[in-house]
């Protein structure tokens, strides 16, 4: 599959936006400038970028507690995301959701979700809605290795399989469910094989290679759109940062993984890998990548400024939006 230059640059931009945004969020959380729990996906950018590059604007996604990357890749605006994380009324959810719950319906982002495995049936239902409403949109469900042990994973895959729903399940296997190594609590080495139990295709994908992710995602999305049913993709990747920002305060460092392991994965950085591809393929000039990085840095500065200067919600807004 030949991937055009515009799309390549779009995927790189998505990865840079995720990397810089989450680095900033991590620093702000560490400095106690933002409230609540923050989970970042640094190191896992390629799966969000590669999958969302295969989607239309009218396609939908569900995400997780570690969801900033998915939202950014689907087109989420950094300013409103940052404002939400600051708990400001200008945020995507008027300050009622926070880092784990950002939603943008206009972009088909049905939401990050604080409950592990909750997005699976929601995405499945979103795909069912496309069938009922006779639309050709596709839903992608991002979830982690931890969620693949939830009952909702199994119930959803079965439901999507029997109804041949237009949904793509994207498991980002980053090696850990919170602080527990995945292989110690999971019956299989590759989560992709669980697809066999439901009679649907399942593939292991190099989750740090945005081009490979894009190719698999494109095929799965095309299959879903053609009415051929769901696919399970397992993107093998790694979480460079902790489960939650600030975990060293209660766990110390090296509590559940070694520095060596982290460094081995950092050497497989999805952004550096793309830069190498760009240089070797001769398709993209280094200056073009540099420009994307500079533009994103400026976008991020503006987002933080917007968030800082935005008003907090008024206490009188507390009872709004419980019911329609």
50: contact with other proteins by CB under 8 A: no
249: Cβ–Cβ under 8 A, 6 or more apart, which residues? none
Instruction: Please tell me the distance from the alpha carbon of residue 178 to that of residue 244, in angstroms, as a whole number.
Output: 8
131: contact with other proteins by CB under 8 A: yes
Work out which of 8, 120, 200, 269 binds other proteins, going by CB under 8 A: 120
103: contact with other proteins by CB under 8 A: yes
197: contact with other proteins by CB under 8 A: no
96: contact with other proteins by CB under 8 A: yes
Instruction: Please tell me the distance from the alpha carbon of residue 64 to that of residue 70, in angstroms, as a whole number.
Output: 9
What number of other Cβ atoms are within 10 A of residue 148's Cβ? 27
The window from 9-17, 155-163, 169-177, 209-217 that contacts other proteins (CB under 8 A) reads 155-163
- SS3 letters across 119-168: HHHHHHHHHHHHHHCCCCCCEEEEEECHHHHCHHHHHHHHHHHHHCCCEE
314: contact with other proteins by CB under 8 A: no
Work out which of 67, 69, 76, 111 binds other proteins, going by CB under 8 A: 111
Work out which of 43, 50, 91, 242 binds other proteins, going by CB under 8 A: 91
Instruction: Please tell me the distance from the alpha carbon of residue 297 to that of residue 222, in angstroms, as a whole number.
Output: 34
Residue pair 81/18 in contact (Cβ under 8 Å)? The answer is no
- Helix-helix angle 5-30:286-309, to 10 degrees: 40
CA distances from residue 1 to 202, 208, 212 in whole angstroms, order as listed: 20, 18, 10
Work out which of 101, 164, 225, 268 binds other proteins, going by CB under 8 A: 101
312: contact with other proteins by CB under 8 A: no
75: contact with other proteins by CB under 8 A: no
Residue pair 208/273 in contact (Cβ under 8 Å)? The answer is yes
Work out which of 25, 54, 55, 122 binds other proteins, going by CB under 8 A: 122
Closest distance of CB 123 from other proteins, Å:
6
How many separate helices (H) and strands (E) can be counted in the chain? Answer: 11, 7
Work out which of 3, 23, 75, 129 binds other proteins, going by CB under 8 A: 129
310: contact with other proteins by CB under 8 A: no
Q: How many residues bind other proteins (CB under 8 A)?
A: 47
The window from 34-42, 70-78, 98-106, 204-212 that contacts other proteins (CB under 8 A) reads 98-106
- Positive or negative, the CA dihedral 220, 224, 227, 231 is positive
Nearer to other proteins, 122 or 235 (CB): 122
Cα 31 from chain centre = 24
Closest distance of CB 31 from other proteins, Å:
26
Query: In the complex, which residues of this chain contact other proteins (CB under 8 A)?
Result: 60, 62, 91-97, 101, 103-105, 110-111, 113-115, 118, 120-133, 139, 151-152, 155-156, 158-159, 162-163, 320-324
């Amino acid at each position: 599959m030949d991937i055009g230059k515009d799309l390549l640059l779009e995927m790189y931009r998505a990865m840079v936006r995720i990397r810089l945004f989450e680095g900033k969020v991590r620093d702000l959380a560490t400095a106690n400038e933002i409230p609540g729990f923050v989970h970042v996906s640094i190191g896992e950018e390629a799966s969000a970028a590669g999958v969302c590059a295969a989607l239309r604007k009218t396609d939908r996604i569900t995400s997780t507690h570690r969801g900033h990357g998915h939202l950014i890749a689907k087109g989420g605006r950094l300013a409103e995301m940052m404002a939400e994380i600051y708990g400001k009324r200008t945020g995507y959810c008027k300050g009622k959701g926070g880092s784990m719950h950002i939603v943008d319906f206009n972009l088909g982002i049905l939401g990050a979700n604080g409950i592990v495995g909750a997005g699976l049936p929601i995405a499945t239902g979103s795909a069912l809605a496309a069938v009922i409403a006779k639309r050709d949109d596709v839903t992608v469900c991002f979830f982690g290795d931890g969620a693949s042990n939830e009952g909702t994973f199994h119930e959803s895959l079965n439901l999507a399989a029997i109804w041949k729903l237009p949904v793509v399940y994207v498991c980002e296997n980053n090696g850990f469910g919170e602080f527990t190594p995945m292989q110690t609590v999971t019956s299989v080495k590759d989560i992709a094989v669980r697809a066999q139990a439901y009679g649907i295709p399942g593939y292991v994908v190099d989750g740090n290679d945005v081009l490979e992710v894009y190719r698999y995602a494109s095929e799965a999305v095309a299959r879903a759109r053609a009415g051929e049913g769901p696919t399970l993709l397992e993107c093998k990747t790694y979480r460079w940062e902790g489960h939650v920002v600030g975990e060293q305060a209660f766990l110390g460092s090296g509590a559940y993984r070694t520095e060596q392991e982290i460094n081995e994965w950092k050497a497989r950085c999805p952004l550096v890998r793309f830069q190498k591809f760009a240089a070797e393929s001769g398709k993209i000039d280094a200056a073009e990548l540099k420009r994307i990085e500079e533009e994103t840095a400026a976008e991020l500065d503006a987002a933080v400024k917007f968030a800082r200067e935005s008003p907090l919600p008024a206490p009188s807004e507390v009872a709004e939006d419980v019911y329609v």
